[in-house]
């Protein structure tokens, strides 16, 4: 069974966004094991108060040990894709990892370590909204792969 991890630099919470994310994870569970991981610690919090470089360094440090399998960064400069091309990405490996950067985004050099870089939209979204959109698209793509009519 495919394992999909979604890592985000965001403080953990228990709000309406999390409720929607949990529902998409539940719906996805018959096709893949999907997990959502909120990464935030004192080092990231402090780095974000210092500046962009320090914040990006702290994100890279948090993400790097988690990069195994097929790694996909969500970045504003990433490739635009439709759901069918996105579904093909989910078939690249049995272990897929998505990474949503923090408020300052990713270091350009760190992005070179990813297997794919995609953009969900030209619009700027709050991290929690991007996480909801990503979870919905993961579910949609799993439905496409498994010929379930949800995507139509």
Known binding residue 142? Answer is: no
- What string of H, E and C letters represents the secondary structure of 86-110? HHHHCCCCCEEEEEECCCCCCCHHH
**Residue 121, annotated ligand binder?**
yes
End-to-end CA distance of the chain: 24
Contact (Cβ atoms closer than 8 angstroms) between residue 1 and residue 35 = no
Q: Is 39 annotated as a binding residue?
A: no
Q: Where are the beta strands (DSSP E) in 2-87?
A: 2-9, 32-39, 70-80
1 is in an annotated binding site: no
Annotated binding site: 74, 101, 120-125
Annotated binding site for S-adenosyl-L-methionine: 74, 101, 120-125
């Amino acid at each position: 069974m495919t394992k999909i991890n979604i890592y985000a630099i965001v403080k953990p919470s228990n709000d309406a966004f999390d409720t929607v994310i949990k529902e998409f994870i539940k719906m996805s569970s018959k096709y893949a094991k999907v997990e959502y991981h909120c990464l935030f610690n004192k080092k990231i919090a402090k780095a974000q108060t210092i500046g962009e470089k320090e914040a990006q360094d702290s994100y890279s440090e948090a993400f790097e040990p988690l990069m195994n399998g097929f790694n996909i960064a969500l970045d504003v400069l990433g490739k635009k894709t439709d759901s069918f091309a996105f579904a093909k990405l989910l078939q690249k490996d049995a272990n897929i990892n998505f990474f949503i950067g923090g408020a300052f985004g990713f270091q350009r050099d760190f992005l070179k370590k990813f297997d794919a870089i995609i953009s969900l939209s030209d619009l700027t979204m709050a991290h929690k909204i991007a996480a909801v959109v990503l979870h919905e698209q993961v579910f949609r793509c799993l439905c496409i792969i498994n010929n379930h009519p949800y995507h139509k």
